[in-house]
Chains A and B, each alone.
Chain A
Amino acid sequence: MTQPVVRESGGLGIPAGERASRFQRFMWRRSTLAVVLVLPLVIIITGLVVYPFFYSLYLSTLNRRETQFVGLGNFRFLFNRDTFWMVVRQSVLFALTAVAFKAMIGFVLAHVINVLPDKRQRLWRGMMLVPWVMPPALSTLGWWWLFDPTYSAFNWILGTLFGAHVAWLSDPGWARFSVILVNVWYGAPFFLIMYLAALKSVPPDLYEAADIDGASAVQKLRHVTLPMMRNIISITVLFSTIVTFANFDIVRVLTQGGPRNTTHLFGTWSFKIGIEGGDVPLGASVSLFMFPILAVLAFFILRNVRKRTAEV
């Protein structure tokens, strides 16, 4: 009640004309200041994201020594190479499989943790998030050691229990399995956290109403939980697909793309060609292939985020 009174008395002291000009001055200062405040952000994003992106389009049209314009020559060259198509297939396989498992594990864990008493939830959630917190390049070193065929744990366990021996990183099939496994280990906690937050945002009276109607656990999951979580699930899945598709750290540390390029993704292969091989234009062309896929995914994420913002 006191605020309007204060506003009134504050306004009364100043003549109307002066008030208007003060207001105009304030508005002018406001919009100038607004632009000044976003300027650093605009400079960083234009200079180090937008410009490099277009520069990369230009680079991809040059020859290896960057002296000559070759048009779509780099792309034509890539289309004719088996390795390129292998990288395409492996990137798709890697991203789809890893995201599917991360999403499933995250979903199960979120439900499992959600039934615990509150205090226990914190503890388990904290423990389950450890893989997400460790820098992936470093935790992958640990996995690399675990996969060591002779001296390490996995083959010791397999050997003792089943007498089996697996060439984890030197057999193409197992190497593909291994990079996906490490990615699932690293990324599942992210899904867990997002789903747990979504589960907590479902109003409890919806479940009570379902109970009164005699709904079974499966029915509650299908008709209450899933519809309420749908938006978060799709945002998380799409976002994780982008990050997984563009992965570098895990493959680089674990297999360096080997054996015989079978585990390369766009990111690691373009690093090998562009930075290690010194063919910057070809490397740029390889990484540009990610763009259309990422653009489509980004479009859907944006739509979902907008929808969610409208709902909240």
Chain B
Amino acid sequence: MFSSSMRTNRRWALLLAYACLAVFAVFTLFPPYYMLITSLKTNEEIAAQAGIPLIIQDGPTLFHYIDLLTNTYFLVYFKNTIIVTVISVGVSMFVSVLAGYSLARMRFWGSTVMATGVFLTYLVPETLLFIPLFKVIGAMHLLNTYWALVVVFPTLAVPFCTWILIGYFSSIPKELDEAALIDGASHLQMLVKIFIPVAMPGIIAATIFAFTVSWANFLYPMAFIYSNDQNVLTAGTVTTLIRGDVFHWGGLMSGALLAAAPPVILYAFLMDYYISGLTTGATKG
């Protein structure tokens, strides 16, 4: 009798859990859902005040997507975003792996202070720095080019990536380095042959993080770039696809969805790395 009451208790708990989740799932997924159906509606249907706006009634159309890819700067933004993201992720990972290895394994004077400093820089928000950086970028003659973003994006990724890599590298048993040293391996060989392969999950998590912050950043392109041919997806979509004179919702939603797609797709495939990257930042040190 005791176990059967436990079982009914558990069933009630599950039922309650699913009810609660259903409510939150609607809250979570309704905005992307509504963006999707809006992007597939005809302009007439979006502008019509009759009918139910929550579903597509006139049949889906790809008009907004075709228009987006042929009549706007969207593909230019896409190309610029890819260039900026690939370079800044490459630079960030190069810098973070070297620094993470050095700070985790090669104790030297000031290395612990430096590790703490890296963590503190991660806490500095971009809104505190964009105005002086605007002047710095201006002095480098990079204003209104996407190279400005290549220069500043590593500052968003490097502190966090270094921080989590210090954690991952430190968790590798010391016996491994000793064995490698006895075999006559140099430090760089050790890094490439042992540390990078063993800490691969950490490196993937850090790369995903670097990719996501570079792709999603909005403040820096808003502050540094004002020409269409130099802009990236976030700022470009927000500044040029909003047009005051015509009904633009379909085009805007298709642009926002396509621009958001790469990080979402990446996440769908690498969810576990993504989550371990998020949580280790605070749990490892």
Q: Residues on A close to B: CB < 8 A?
A: 3, 6-7, 10, 29-31, 33-35, 37-38, 40-42, 44-45, 48-49, 51-53, 55-56, 59, 105, 108-109, 112-113, 115-116, 122, 124-131, 133-139, 141-143, 145-146, 148, 150-153, 156-157, 185, 189-190, 193-194, 197, 201, 232, 235-236, 239, 242-243, 245-249, 252-253, 266-267, 270-271, 274-275, 280, 283-284, 287-288, 290-291, 294, 297-298, 301-302, 305-306, 308-309, 312
Contacts and interface: CB of A to CB of B under 8 A. Distances in A.
B124 to A, nearest CB: 6
Contacts of B130: 271, 275, 287
Interface stretch (B58-66, B67-75, B149-157, B197-205): B149-157
B84 interface: no
Contact of B158 (A37, A41, A51, A290): A41
A2 to B, nearest CB: 11
Contacts of A249: 218-219
Contact of A127 (B28, B175, B188, B263): B28
A253 B158 CA distance: 27
B83 interface: no
Interface string B233-249: 11101100000000001
B194 interface: no
Contact of B133 (A48, A129, A232): A48
Interface in B130-157: 130-136, 151-152, 154-155
Contacts of B129: 48-49, 52-53, 56
A152 B152 CA distance: 38
Contact of B21 (A112, A253, A284): A112
Contact of A274 (B126, B131, B159, B268): B131
A311 to B, nearest CB: 10
Nearest to A192: B24
Nearest to B221: A137
A302 B259 contact: no
Nearest to B92: A44
25 contacts: A7-B182, A29-B187, A30-B187, A45-B118, A48-B154, A49-B155, A52-B132, A56-B128, A56-B131, A59-B131, A113-B17, A115-B17, A125-B275, A133-B264, A135-B260, A137-B216, A137-B237, A141-B253, A143-B31, A157-B54, A246-B127, A271-B130, A275-B222, A287-B130, A312-B283
B127 A141 contact: no
Chain B interface size, under 10 / 10 to 19 / 20 to 34 / 35 or more: 35 or more
B187 A142 contact: no
Contacts of B49: 150-151
A311 B138 CA distance: 46
B53 A151 contact: yes
A41 B279 contact: no
Interface string B78-122: 000000000000000011101101110011100100101111110
Interface string B12-53: 011011001100110111111011001000000011010011
A275 to B, nearest CB: 5
Contacts of A143: 31
Given A127-B25, A151-B46, A280-B131, A294 B162 contact: no
Contacts of A291: 128
Given A112-B21, A116-B14, A142-B253, A33 B187 contact: yes
A85 to B, nearest CB: 19
B36 to A, nearest CB: 9
A306 B285 contact: yes
Contacts of B283: 197, 201, 232, 308, 312
Contacts of B121: 45, 49
B257 to A, nearest CB: 8
A291 B120 CA distance: 13
Contacts of B192: none
A42 B16 CA distance: 52
A288 B132 CA distance: 11
Contacts of A37: 98-99, 101-102, 106
